[in-house]
Amino acid sequence: MELFNSALGKNITFVHPAFFIIGGLTGIPNITFYYVFLFFVYIVSVVGNTVVMAVICLDHNLRTPKYIAVFNLAFVDLFGNTALVPKVLDIFLFGHYFIPYNDCLTFLFFCYTCLSLQSFNLVALSYDRMVAIIFPLHYQVKVTHRFMFSLIASLWVFTIIAVLIAVGLLTRLSFCKSVVINSYFCDHGQIYRLACNDHFPSYVIACLYPVIIFWLPLAFILLSYLYIGYTLVKVATLQEGLKAFKTCIGHLSLVAIYFIPLLTTFTLMEKIQPNARIINLSLTSVFPPMLNPIIYVLQTQEIKESLKRLLKRRGKSKITI
């Protein structure tokens, strides 16, 4: 990060605190129960995403380009919740409110990386659905294993670089007064507002990144489904159109539970009472990773059939033994 610690060719010394203090929720009685609730949400998320990844790995029929993206989404959900929830529980259940400066920036990096990758994964899945429905005869050529691996790898590289830039700009800030972060984790917006020097570059990042990471992916997804709907109306009967669109229900559900609460919270950020904002953001962070595998298991025919095959195979092996 030393690259960011110079301006106009001159070395500048920045005042970095030894630690930050996570403020969290204040003035709410019996708030411990809320953190226990988050723990149970985390357990369900771990089990669900692990099952989805295991099914995809064990069933050769699911080793398709689409399920490369599904596997990556499950992995990111599991990784993101694991980076966030245990640390949040450690902070608020065990009273470890003081987080060393470098640890806080690392915490921020992993949380924002996973949150961003969830958005881009939904874009990859929407592209897969669009090609499968609109160009079914060319699907095997357009969406190959190599293409999907390259797309997922590109999304990882782009996201990591983008978040590193945001973190790097934070290292150019001096903190001379308060070190209390009014959030439940090391939140980028709450950190740069504590700075006592010019934080305009971080402000620009805070304004620009939601557009790149949330609004543009959502716009692409909505346009892809408008294109799908327009094409189906033109070339398919009502029954054929409903059958084709049924394959998109799982993905549309993921889009809704991810983007609606997230964008609502970010849009109304300044108008929401601090405790309500923290609760909204924490639930928005942990609920989609918990619900994603449940939706895929319940609404994706291939995974339901794969689970049945694996359970039957396991049952037969037990009988043989």
**Helix, coil or strand: residue 294:** helix
Report how far residue 173's alpha carbon sits from residue 233's, in angstroms, rounded to the nearest whole number: 54
Check residue 178 and give left, alpha or beta (phi > 0: left; psi -120 to 50: alpha).
Answer: beta
Q: Is the pLDDT score of 36 beyond 80?
A: yes
pLDDT recorded at residue 3? 46
Q: Where are the beta strands (DSSP E) in the chain?
A: 6-7, 10-11, 19-22, 98-100, 180-181
Identify whether the C-beta of residue 192 lies closer than 8 Å to the C-beta of residue 20.
Answer: no
pLDDT recorded at residue 10? 54
Confidence grade of residue 7 (pLDDT, cut at 50, 70, 90): very low
Which residue has better confidence, 79 or 28? Answer: 79
CA 41 to chain centre: 15
Report how far residue 171's alpha carbon sits from residue 227's, in angstroms, rounded to the nearest whole number: 44
> 182: which DSSP letter?
S
Q: Residue 299 falls within a domain, yes or no?
A: yes
pLDDT recorded at residue 316? 63
Q: Residue 158 falls within a domain, yes or no?
A: yes
Q: Residue 14 falls within a domain, yes or no?
A: no
Q: Residue 201 falls within a domain, yes or no?
A: yes
**Total residues found in the chain within this entry:** 321
Q: Residue 5 falls within a domain, yes or no?
A: no
Q: Tell me the CATH number at 31.
A: 1.20.1070.10
Q: Is the pLDDT score of 1 beyond 50?
A: no
Confidence grade of residue 4 (pLDDT, cut at 50, 70, 90): very low
> Model-level pTM?
0.90
Q: pLDDT tens digit string along 108-143?
A: 999 999 999 999 999 999 999 899 888 888 999 999
Q: Is the pLDDT score of 198 beyond 80?
A: yes
Q: Residue 295 falls within a domain, yes or no?
A: yes
Q: Six-digit token pair at 316?
A: 């037969």
Q: Residue 8 falls within a domain, yes or no?
A: no
Domain region containing 84: 19-305
Percent of the chain with pLDDT over 70: 92
Cα distance from N-terminal residue to C-terminal residue, the chain: 58
Report how far residue 199's alpha carbon sits from residue 172's, in angstroms, rounded to the nearest whole number: 8
What number of other Cβ atoms are within 10 A of residue 160's Cβ? Answer: 14
Report how far residue 42's alpha carbon sits from residue 81's, in angstroms, rounded to the nearest whole number: 7
Q: pLDDT tens digit string along 229-265?
A: 888 888 767 777 777 777 788 788 889 888 988 887 7
Indicate the average pLDDT of the chain: 88
Q: Six-digit token pair at 298?
A: 């319940």
Q: Residue 318 falls within a domain, yes or no?
A: no
Q: pLDDT tens digit string along 167-197?
A: 999 999 999 989 999 999 999 999 999 999 9
The total number of structural domains that make up the chain:
1
**Helix, coil or strand: residue 39:** helix
CA 13 to chain centre: 35
